[in-house]
């Protein structure tokens, strides 16, 4: 399989490790608020990728961190008059529930930073010992980016530009370089009980450590977690595009400096930007949409479809047209699948001899796989399904039961591989019985009675289409 490596700037063949799983890490959420559409974009994309790899026979260990120690959590906890740990736990649970709702279930381990404090401290100690970190009194330990000549190799950036106000560069006047980032933040703790290992100081969490009472900086949480679970080097690191700098650049600097081993990660994957009605999503613009808000109006299937109908590296603009397009595509596919199910039950036992269509079982599977193996091109794979359906459509009513069943199975299985679960439906017995009765009236040209029965079927939530195979009864699509 080929994937686009941000580090090399080109598509590369993914190496299959021998005797161990492919280790994938994706930056998880900072749990201080509800997960939003940006999270859905990234986590659905990586969930689908991991599902696909597993379906292809790869052994994958998918790890995600949970940033449960962070300034944003501390601030939010103060506002809400609670502790950072309680607030983080609450949002971590909400995050897990939401991920379940959107079918993200490929992650093997969620690792909260608060459970890895000793590993974080160990990394800070090594960076200090090797001369990559320096101390600022009453502030903390900082990574000196000038000691690491490779800084900038992922993003092509080292200098901090005006826009970096939002990218969590630590503000600290006494830093050697503007781009230096915090590894460990001191907190002025004086526990009465000498054996205390943790305390809250004015609402800020502080751990006892050889490097002083304090808490970790943001970037080092991830490298400590991956070093603990994968070792100092691993296969794939994923995350949203906006984490490339400084977050991922900082991760490389920390881990390669601490271990002396390069590369820290072989392959870096980044998901494209997500906008809402053409604008960056933000609370101040009032276009902040949580996943649960979206799911209150649309099914999870539509959200997953919307995300995966875009290439993972392409930007997604959540606007009415894009959502409408996803709703329509899902409805049209559902209709085709329901029809194929109907034909597989009511169709001809053998295909009509006069049909022009040559049913090719291989074509869809081959195109589907080729698209996904080439930088996980999901829109191209979707296009293969629609091309297959377009070929099928003119001959649909002439398919044999077996052919309809095969086509149905192929489409359902293909999508299922990516966590897109279509369930072909047949009508209830009651709706079908009414439709069959209507057919009898129609046959004897008793159209008033036939019309009344059609309305009865509609009342049950179904629509009747007259087809060469008799009445096709399907659930009335929601408009
Ligand atoms: Zn991260």
- Split at pLDDT 50, 70, 90, the class of 210 is very high
If asked whether residues 260 and 389 sit together in one domain, one would say: no
**380 is in which domain, residue-wise?**
327-416
Residue with the two structure tokens 């984490």: 243
Indicate the SS3 state at residue 287: coil
For residue 299, being part of any structural domain is answered with no
If asked whether residues 266 and 129 sit together in one domain, one would say: yes
Ligand 1: distance of its center to the CA of 66 in Å? Answer: 9
Ligand 1: distance of its center to the CA of 28 in Å? Answer: 6
pLDDT tens sequence across 440-476? 999 999 999 999 999 999 999 999 999 999 999 999 8
- Split at pLDDT 50, 70, 90, the class of 350 is confident
If asked whether residues 113 and 28 sit together in one domain, one would say: yes
Ligand 1: distance of its center to the CA of 384 in Å? Answer: 34
If asked whether residues 398 and 250 sit together in one domain, one would say: no
pLDDT tens sequence across 352-378? 555 545 566 678 899 999 999 999 999
pLDDT tens sequence across 215-248? 999 999 999 999 999 999 999 999 999 999 999 9
**Which residues crowd ion ligand 1, with CB under 5 Å?**
27, 222
pLDDT tens sequence across 118-127? 999 999 999 9
If asked whether residues 350 and 408 sit together in one domain, one would say: yes
If asked whether residues 411 and 456 sit together in one domain, one would say: no
If asked whether residues 412 and 448 sit together in one domain, one would say: no
Residue 17 makes CB contacts below 8 A (sequence gap 6+) with: 23, 235
Per the CB < 8 A criterion, the answer to whether 60 and 180 are in contact is no
Q: Which residue has the higher pLDDT, 255 or 357?
A: 255
pLDDT of residue 353: 57
pTM: 0.94
Ligand 1: distance of its center to the CA of 255 in Å? Answer: 13
CA distance 249 to 157: 9
If asked whether residues 33 and 125 sit together in one domain, one would say: yes
Ligand 1: distance of its center to the CA of 223 in Å? Answer: 8
For residue 16, being part of any structural domain is answered with yes
- Domain of residue 339, CATH code: 1.20.120
If asked whether residues 108 and 229 sit together in one domain, one would say: yes
If asked whether residues 381 and 442 sit together in one domain, one would say: no
The closest of 23, 87, 403, 41 to 225, measured between CA atoms, is 23
For residue 77, being part of any structural domain is answered with yes
- Is the model's pLDDT at 282 over the cut of 90? no
If asked whether residues 409 and 433 sit together in one domain, one would say: no
How far is the CA of 300 from the CAs of 44, 270, 304, 464, in angstroms? 11, 23, 6, 27
pLDDT tens sequence across 377-416? 999 999 999 999 998 898 899 888 998 999 999 999 999 9
How far is the CA of 469 from the CAs of 285, 376, 396, 397, in angstroms? 53, 39, 10, 7
Ligand 1: distance of its center to the CA of 474 in Å? Answer: 46
- Split at pLDDT 50, 70, 90, the class of 280 is confident
Ligand 1: distance of its center to the CA of 226 in Å? Answer: 10
Q: What is the mean pLDDT of the chain?
A: 93
């Amino acid at each position: 399989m080929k994937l686009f490596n941000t580090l090399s700037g080109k598509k590369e063949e993914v190496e299959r490790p021998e005797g161990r799983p492919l280790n994938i890490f994706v930056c998880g959420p900072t749990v201080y608020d509800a997960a939003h559409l940006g999270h859905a974009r990234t986590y659905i994309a990586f969930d689908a990728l991991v599902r696909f790899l597993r379906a292809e026979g790869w052994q994958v260990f998918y790890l995600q961190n949970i940033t449960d120690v962070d300034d944003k959590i501390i601030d939010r906890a103060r506002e809400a008059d609670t502790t950072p740990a309680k607030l983080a736990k609450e949002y971590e649970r909400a995050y897990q529930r939401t991920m379940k709702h959107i079918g993200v279930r490929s992650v093997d381990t969620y690792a909260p930073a608060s459970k890895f404090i000793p590993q974080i401290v160990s990394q800070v100690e090594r960076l200090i010992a090797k001369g990559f970190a320096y101390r600022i009194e009453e502030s903390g330990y900082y990574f000196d980016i000038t000691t690491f000549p490779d800084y900038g190799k992922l993003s092509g950036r080292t200098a901090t530009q005006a826009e970096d106000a939002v990218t969590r560069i630590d503000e600290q006047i006494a830093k050697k370089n503007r781009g230096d980032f915090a590894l460990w933040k001191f907190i002025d703790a004086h526990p009465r009980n000498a054996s205390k290992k943790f305390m809250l100081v004015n609402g800020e969490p502080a751990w006892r450590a050889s490097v002083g009472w304090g808490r970790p900086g943001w970037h080092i949480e991830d490298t400590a977690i991956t070093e603990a679970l994968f070792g100092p080097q691993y296969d794939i690191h994923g995350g949203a595009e906006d984490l490339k700098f400084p977050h991922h650049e900082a991760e490389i600097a920390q881990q390669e400096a601490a271990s002396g081993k390069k590369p820290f990660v072989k392959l870096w994957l980044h998901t494209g930007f997500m906008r809402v009605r053409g604008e960056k999503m933000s609370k101040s613009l009032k276009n902040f949409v949580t996943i649960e808000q979206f799911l209150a109006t649309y099914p999870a299937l539509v959200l997953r479809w919307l995300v995966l109908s875009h290439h993972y590296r392409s930007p997604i603009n959540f606007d009415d047209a894009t959502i409408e397009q996803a709703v329509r595509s899902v409805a049209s596919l559902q209709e085709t699948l329901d029809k194929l199910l109907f034909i597989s039950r009511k169709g001809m036992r053998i295909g009509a001899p006069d049909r022009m269509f040559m049913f090719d079982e291989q074509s869809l599977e081959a195109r589907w796989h080729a698209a996904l193996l080439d930088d996980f091109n999901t829109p191209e794979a979707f296009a293969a399904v629609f091309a297959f359906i377009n070929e099928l459509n003119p001959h649909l009513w002439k398919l044999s039961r077996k052919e309809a069943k095969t086509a149905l199975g192929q489409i359902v299985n293909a999508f299922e591989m990516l966590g897109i679960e279509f369930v072909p439906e047949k009508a209830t017995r009651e709706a079908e019985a009414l439709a069959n009765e209507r057919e009898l009236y129609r046959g004897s040209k008793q159209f008033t009675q036939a019309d009344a029965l059609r309305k009865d079927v509609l009342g049950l939530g179904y629509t009747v289409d007259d087809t060469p195979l008799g009445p096709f009864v399907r659930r009335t699509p929601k408009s």
